[in-house]
């Protein structure tokens, strides 16, 4: 049985604001080795859209984002093609649109579950690449969602926090499986979920109002799973654009 590279959902590192890396240290050996470790972890997951350093236990402001995330349409999560990643150090959202939309998200830090998460449609992000060069990106759609998800990680947030922040009674955090389920059952549940989501989107054009039989409450999330609550003063979205 292989050991998961991801820290548990209730790990304190997932609630910390990760350390900013001085620009002159980005090309240092320890940081480059951490970046390589993150990329190698990501390459083992064909469905991975992004990864933040805290997810594998390192409290640094580094994220990697799959090249697949930058395509016009949301990529097929079942695409087994090779995954390659772009590196972003000290990423920061400098602008966020007012307009929001709901869509599904999963996370390797919350295995076995999926949520319908409200995110802003467009963001501007500033960061450094792995060579220490400053980059600025204007992002919309799925790419904007991925960056918001990963930048949340380096600020101590996990996607269910976003669901429950303004919707404490939301029923959009969905249980797909747990550790006691057989692999075949887990695959069957995931297949049924994808089919249900797809059918709902075809009929309604979005995922708003979608229901799944097994949901997780705010209390279960904060007290049983994360075993902590987020500190919203660290919210990475610019003021007034939340």
Structural domain tally of the chain? Answer: 1
* Residue 2 placed within a domain: no
Residue 7 belongs to a domain: no
User: Does 1 map to a domain?
Assistant: no
230 alpha carbon, distance to own chain's centre: 15
Residue span of the structural domain in which 117 resides: 12-230
Q: Is residue 175 part of a domain?
A: yes
- CATH number of the domain encompassing residue 124: 3.90.45.10
Q: Element (H or E) spanning 120, and its range?
A: strand 113-120
Decide if 150 is catalytic: yes
In a domain, 241, yes or no: no
Structural domain contains residue 174: yes
* Residues whose CB falls within 8 Å of the CB of residue 123, separated by 6 or more in sequence, listed in order: 93, 95, 96, 97, 139, 144, 147, 148
Coil, strand or helix at 147: helix
* From 101, 105, 150, 222, the catalytic residue: 150
Cα distance between residue 140 and residue 92, in whole Å: 15
Q: What is the pLDDT along the chain (242 residues), one digit of tens a residue?
A: 467 899 999 999 999 999 999 999 999 999 999 999 999 999 999 889 999 999 999 999 999 999 999 987 787 766 666 789 999 999 999 999 999 999 999 999 999 999 999 999 999 999 999 999 999 999 999 999 999 999 999 999 999 999 999 888 888 899 998 878 899 999 999 999 999 999 999 999 999 999 999 999 999 999 999 999 999 999 998 765 65
In a domain, 221, yes or no: yes
Residue 240 lies in a domain: no
């Amino acid at each position: 049985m292989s050991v998961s590279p991801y820290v548990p959902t209730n790990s304190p590192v997932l609630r910390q604001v990760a350390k900013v890396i001085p620009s002159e240290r980005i090309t240092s050996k320890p940081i480059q080795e951490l970046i390589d470790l993150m990329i190698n972890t990501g390459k083992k997951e064909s469905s991975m859209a992004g990864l933040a350093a805290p997810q594998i236990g390192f409290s640094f402001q580094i994220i990697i984002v799959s090249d697949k995330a930058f395509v016009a349409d949301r990529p097929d999560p079942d695409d087994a093609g090779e995954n390659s990643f772009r590196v972003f150090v000290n990423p920061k959202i400098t602008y966020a649109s007012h307009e929001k939309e709901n869509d599904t998200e999963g996370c390797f830090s919350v295995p076995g579950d999926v949520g319908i998460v409200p995110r802003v449609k467009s963001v501007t992000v500033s960061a450094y690449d792995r060579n220490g060069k400053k980059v600025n990106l204007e992002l919309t759609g799925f790419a904007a969602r991925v960056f918001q998800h990963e930048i949340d990680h380096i600020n101590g947030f996990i996607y269910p926090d976003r669901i429950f922040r303004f919707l404490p009674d939301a029923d959009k955090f969905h249980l797909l499986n747990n550790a006691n389920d057989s692999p075949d059952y887990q695959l069957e549940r995931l297949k049924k979920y994808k089919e249900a989501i797809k059918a709902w989107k075809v009929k309604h054009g979005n995922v708003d109002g979608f229901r799944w039989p097994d949901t997780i409450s705010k209390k279960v999330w904060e007290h049983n799973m994360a075993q902590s609550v987020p500190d919203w003063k660290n919210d990475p979205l610019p003021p007034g654009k939340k």
